[in-house]
Amino acid sequence: MGSVLTFVVAAALPVLAIGGDIKVAGPDEIDRLLDAIAKVESRHDPGAIGDGGRAAGAYQIHRSYWADGTKFLGVTWDYSLATDTTKAREVVRAYLLHYGQGCTLLEMARIHNGGPTGHKKPSTLPYARKIARLLDDAS
């Protein structure tokens, strides 16, 4: 995936209203987050369709999210590939590393759930709590 997707934050950042410090320190942590997102979104079901037919795949990706993520990757994959778990994972990673620069894992989860400014929306806190439980269980 190249150095474009390498992301390192040296210090843990506080996660307000959820508790604990969950930092982004490297690719392993992002992979843990991506696994947790797929579990919460669809129980890892690549054929899942949600949000009234507007979200597809294991990560429940919307068209605008897909457009941004593929742009950040520099690819022209059709939205129908959102059900391809490998490609979808790359798109989610690119999207979160772009919009989540300087963010904690839980803030990145909130961005996945609520868009580029999702980490600032109170409505994404319950989603972050679900992700936090999975990340705590995996550590």
Provide mean pLDDT across the span 35-60: 98
Any idea which residues carry the catalytic annotation? 41, 51
Provide mean pLDDT across the span 22-36: 83
In percent, how much of the chain has pLDDT > 70?
A: 81
pLDDT at 6 over 80: no
* Contact in structure between 33 and 110 (CB atoms under 8 Å): no
Cβ neighbors of 79 (< 8 A, separation 6 or more) are: 56, 63, 66, 67
For domain 3-138, the CATH class is mainly alpha
Angle CA 40–89–129, to nearest 5: 25
Cβ neighbors of 51 (< 8 A, separation 6 or more) are: 60, 62
Domain boundaries, the chain: 3-138
pLDDT at 109 over 60: yes
Q: How confident is the model at residue 13 (pLDDT cuts 50, 70, 90)?
A: very low
Provide mean pLDDT across the span 85-95: 98
Provide mean pLDDT across the span 53-79: 98
Give the gyration radius of the chain's Cα atoms: 14
* Contact in structure between 67 and 81 (CB atoms under 8 Å): no
